[in-house]
A and B are shown apart, each in its own frame.
Chain A
Amino acid sequence: MTVIPGGSRSRLDPEATPRRDWLGLTALWSMVSALSFGFLGALRLPKAAVVAAPSKSFKIAIPEALAAGEALVPQGHAAAVFRDEEGVYAISTICTHLGCVVKPNAEGFECPCHGSRFDKTGGVVKGPAPRALPWLQVRLSGDEAQIDEGKTVPGGTKVKSA
């Protein structure tokens, strides 16, 4: 503690920042930042790098009897497959609102969870869904369609067998 001659500072007043305190504070904050970075690094663990999920691609035979605009919903998949004169197409049945599975009906699709309604092309007509239902990639080989739930295509893309 230095006493400044003529200064009004008392012995008990705190000094601005003595050098030793400054070094101490630097050491302390180095420790705090090292620990925080270490902790943040440890938090990287819960964010999985590889996600184990079942394959999203599946094959389905399209029956001759499937009428134009009639939905074919394969068991265990979140997609509805349609066929009309212009070709085959598939629309995802996962609601864009909160992920419930929508059900095809005469006017389009309806969601059981919060009442979103979609038209035949997947566009939103009613309710809280923020986006249209995405269209899925379809590949045809004969009567069999291969549909990939992980790949979306622009709405209106219909596939005809060559």
Chain B
Amino acid sequence: MTTSDIVAQGLRGKKGDVKSLLFEGALLLSLFISLLFLIILLVDVVGKGIGVLLDRGGSFLSSGLSSFAERAGVGQGIFGSLVMLIFVVLLAFPIGVASAIYLEEYAKDTKFNRFIDVNIRNLAGVPSIVFGLLGVAIFVLVLAPLTGGASYIAGGLTLAVLVLPIIIITSAEALRAVPDSIREAGFGVGATRWEVVRSHVLPVAAPGIFTGTVLSISRALGETAPLLLVGAVTGFVATGDASLGEQLQGPFATLPTTIFAWASEPDSDFRALTQAAIIVLLGVILTANAIAIFLRNRYERKW
């Protein structure tokens, strides 16, 4: 047998290689099953919950919590989630981006700065329920005169602290992706470090920072466990004619805690309500994520 025969045989063998086909098939199957679970989830939720949304529409979105299924709605949950969102945007976003700017643009490679960096990475891996314990111990008990105990403020602060490390890490990645030549060009024409950051680095890194922030906020919108620890209520929240300030110090519920409360109701009427509330939550979160990821992929620049 000549060498060319061996090569020819090898080439022929390649085409009908059953093992390779099986291997590729198994890989494709695992991707397919991963997606399938999520697709079944979406179909299951929409199938069971869309009826309530179609029947009750606006009244479901606006009414508050109630022990009667026909009167219960997600109004208070939506209000609570909006308040949480405001806390995250006002606190975690500026502090997070500022930390990222410090770590990427200003910090020298000292022990202290390395410690900050490692600390943030570890903080991002802490389970969310542990942040709930922080919330109970500090925001609910120690700061009770300020927050009013288990309140919107305590919940909002807990969520802001929870997503802070994620915002820092994603923003730092976006800043790191900006090539040094851009900074050097700025320094070359005599700009200060802050001028370079403000008018050269930040505009380029903005899409990445924006996407990271939106993903973090939608993570906060879906968080449930820490808020249960902080003391989200599962029953009706009577607001009466309390002022906004008093309300913020009062008992709270969010969309995900409402979902959990309904999921634990023994009354079977609440099952469709649970799924309807999930449609509302997923609608908001998945749309926000989709827009953010689409924008990032669109505007991401390779240098």
Task: Decide whether A and B assemble into one complex.
Answer: no
